Structure 1
Amino acid sequence: MNLKQLQYFRVLAGYEHFTKAAEQLSITQPSLSHAISELEKELGTYLFEKHGRNIRLTKYGRFFLQYVERSLDELEKGEKKLHDITCPSRGVVDVAFMYHLGPQMIPNMIQAFSRKNEYKNVRFTLSQGSTKKIFQDLKTGKVDIAFTLMDDDEPEIEFIPLFKQEMVAVASYDHPLARYDSIDMKDTAPYPFILFNQSSDMRRIIDKLFESAGVIPQISCEMDEADVIAGLAAINFGIAIMPKSLLLNNNNLKVLSINHPLANPAVCMACVKNRYLCPATEAFQQFSLNYSNDLVLQLH
C-alpha cells in the first residue's frame, strides 16, 4: 500500500466512475484500474462493485474510506504546516538565551528582524535558562539557536562570538570604593560581597575573576535576582558584580569598571554543528551576526 494508491482510491470513491476519476488524476484508466486492483489484493477485499455502467463502493470500501480521508487530510495538514514552519517568510525560529544577557538585547534584535518586510510573518518561541539547560535544549533540538557564553567542554556546539558583555562592580555612593571610577579586583578584598548563586552563569564568571586575582571574597549574601542584588548594593549591604546591561540606568549605584580581561566575557551565538536549520532560522542567524557587528561598531 502506498500514498498514490490511497489518493487514487479517494478520488475514485468520489466519482464512482473510472474514466472521470482517471481524467481528474491525469492518468490512464488502465493505470487507475491496476492501482485499485493492487490495493484490493493487499487489503484482501473488494472496495468497489459494479453498479450498472458505473461502480460503487462496497460496504468495506465505505468503511475504509473514512480512515483514508482522515489520514490524507492529516497528511495534507502536516505538509502545509511543514511548509509554513520552513518557509523563509513564515517559519518558526526557536531561540534560547541565558538569564543574565539583559532585558533589551534579544527583544531589540527580534524587533529589528521582524521589521523587515520579508520576515514580518516569521514567529519566534523564546526560552531562558542556564547554560547547562540551553546546551541540553540545543542538542535535543528543542531550540535552534542560543545566545550564551562559550564552553570548551561542548564539542558538539559551534560558538560564534558576537560581542563582549562588560561586567562591572556596583556599590552604594556611601561605599569607600565609590570615589573611584575603576578598580582592580584586589581593591575589593576588604569588603563584603553580594553574589549571584553558585548555580548562576554569572557566578562562574565572577568566581574566575576572584581566582585570577587571588581574592577570596567575603560573601554576605547570595541570590539569583539581579534587581535584588542591585538593591542591596544600593543600601550599602555589600559590593556586587554584574553585567552592566542589567543596570538600566540605575542612578542609586556607583558603577565601577573592573580592570581585568576576564571582566569582558564574550557572548556567543550557539548552534549544533552540521545540523540543518530551516531557511527562516538561517536568515535570523545571519541577521544576528550583522546586527551584533553593527552594535559593536556603534559602541566604538
Structure 2
Amino acid sequence: MNLQQLEYFKKIAETKNFTTAAALASVSQPALSKSISKLEEELNVPLFERNGRNVNLTSFGQAFLAHADLALKEIEKGIKELEDMLQTDKGIISVASTYCIGTYFMPFIISDFLSFYPDARFQFNHGSTVEILNDLKAGKIALGFYDNAVDNFDSLLQNPEIESVLVKKEEYVLIVPKNHALSTETTASLKDLKNEAFIVLKEGNTDKMVSYSEFIGYTPKISVQPNEASMLSGLVAAGAGITIVPNTPLINTNTVSIVKIKEDLGYKSIYMGCLKNAYISPAAIKFKEHIISSIKN
C-alpha cells in the first residue's frame, strides 16, 4: 500500500467514476484500475461495486475511506509543517479574537509584530470566547484572544487542553460627554450616579463589559442598548448617556471625558490561548513569544 493508491481511492470515492478520477489524477484509466485492484488484493476486500457507468463504495470501502482520508490529511499537515520550517518568518499565523478585542487590541499587537516581521501573514477571525476555545481544540486556529467578560469564565479557563496566558489587564472607567457635570472630575462614586441614564450593551452580547446591578448596587436607568461595543463611545459623545468601559487607547478624549471610579470593579483581563502540545507554525510561535515578551517589558 502506498500514498498514491490512497489518493486514487479517495478520488474515485469522490467522483464515483474511474474515468473522471483518472483525469483528475493525471493518470491513465488502466493504470488507475490496476492500482486499485492491487489495493483490494492487499486488503482482501472489494472497495467498489459497479452501478451502471459509475461505481459506489462497498461497506468495506466506506469503512476504509475514513481512515484513508485521515491518513492523507496527516500527510498534508506534515508537508505544511516542513514548508513552514523552511520559511520561519513568512508563515501564516491563524488567530481569532472576540469582537471587542479585535476592535481595539489586536490591530496594535499585529501592527507591532509586522514591524519586526513584515513578511508574516495573518488569517484573522472573530468569534465568542466559547467558539474560539472550540476552534483551538479543533486545530482551526493557532492562537485565540478572549477576555473574562463572559459567564462561567473561570471554568472555561480551567480547560486542561488549553494554555491561557494573561496578556493585559484594563481597569474599568466611566466615560461621560464633554458637557456633563462630571467631565471635569477625576473620580466619581457609583452611588452618586443613580439619576444618570446609562448606555448598556444589549442583553446576550458576547462583549458585555460589567454587571451594572452587581457593582452599582441598584438597577440603573438605561437609555440605549447598542449591539456593538464600538458604538458606546459615540453614543456617549452624542449625549445619549454615560457608560462604564475598559480604559483603552481607543477612547477619544476629544469627544468624551474619562473619569476614574472610586469603587473596585476589578479588571477586564485579556488572555492569549493555544492548544497544549499541538503543532503551530514557527511564525505563530514567534508571534506568541513576541506578545509574551511585550508583557514582561
Q: Please, what TM-score do these two structures have when normalized by structure 2?
A: 0.65
Instruction: Show the counterpart of 1:147.
Output: 145
Q: Is the 8 A contact 1:93 1:125 kept in 2?
A: yes
Instruction: Show the counterpart of 2:183.
Output: 178
Q: Is the 8 A contact 2:102 2:126 kept in 1?
A: no
| Equivalent of 1:229 in 228, 232, 238 | 232
Q: Match of 1:269, SS? A: strand
Q: Is the 8 A contact 1:97 1:134 kept in 2?
A: yes
Instruction: Show the counterpart of 1:269.
Output: 272
What are the within-5 Å matches in structure 2 for residues 73-92 of structure 1? 81-85=80-84, 87-92=87-92
Instruction: Show the counterpart of 2:290.
Output: 287
Instruction: Show the counterpart of 2:205.
Output: 200
Q: Matched residues in 1 for 2:102 and 2:281: separation?
A: 27
For residue 127 of structure 1, report the CA deviation from its aligned partner. 1.2
Stretches of structure 1 lacking an aligned partner (at least 5 in a row): 7-38, 46-74, 295-300
Q: Matched residues in 1 for 2:243 and 2:78: separation?
A: 53
For residue 287 of structure 1, report the CA deviation from its aligned partner. 0.9
1:279–1:141 CA distance, 2 compared to 1 (3 A): same
For residue 265 of structure 1, report the CA deviation from its aligned partner. 1.9
Q: Match of 2:234, SS? A: helix
Q: Matched residues in 2 for 1:282 and 1:270: separation?
A: 12
Q: Matched residues in 2 for 1:97 and 1:181: separation?
A: 32
Stretches of structure 2 lacking an aligned partner (at least 5 in a row): 7-34, 42-73
Largest Rg, 1 or 2: 1
For residue 97 of structure 1, report the CA deviation from its aligned partner. 1.6
Instruction: Show the counterpart of 1:241.
Output: 244
Q: Matched residues in 2 for 1:138 and 1:261: separation?
A: 33
Q: Matched residues in 1 for 2:179 and 2:233: separation?
A: 14
For residue 235 of structure 1, report the CA deviation from its aligned partner. 2.9
For residue 40 of structure 1, report the CA deviation from its aligned partner. 11
What are the superposed Cα offsets for residues 243-264 of structure 1, whole Å, 9 maximum, x if unpaired?
A: 3326443412121112343342
CA RMSD of aligned residues (A): 3.4
For residue 173 of structure 1, report the CA deviation from its aligned partner. 2.7
Q: Matched residues in 2 for 1:41 and 1:199: separation?
A: 57
For residue 224 of structure 1, report the CA deviation from its aligned partner. 2.5
Instruction: Show the counterpart of 2:173.
Output: 168
What are the superposed Cα offsets for residues 131-158 of structure 1, whole Å, 9 maximum, x if unpaired?
A: 2332232222222211211421223232
1:265–1:173 CA distance, 2 compared to 1 (3 A): same
Q: Please, what TM-score do these two structures have when normalized by structure 1?
A: 0.65
Higher helix fraction: Structure 1 or Structure 2?
A: 1
| Percentage of matched positions with identical amino acids | 29
Q: Matched residues in 2 for 1:145 and 1:44: separation?
A: 42
Q: Match of 1:177, SS? A: coil
1:132–1:259 CA distance, 2 compared to 1 (3 A): farther
What are the within-5 Å matches in structure 2 for residues 1-300 of structure 1? 1-3=1-3, 42=38, 81-85=80-84, 87-101=87-101, 103-116=103-116, 119-150=117-148, 151-154=153-156, 155-156=158-159, 157-203=162-208, 205-207=209-211, 210-245=213-248, 247-294=250-297
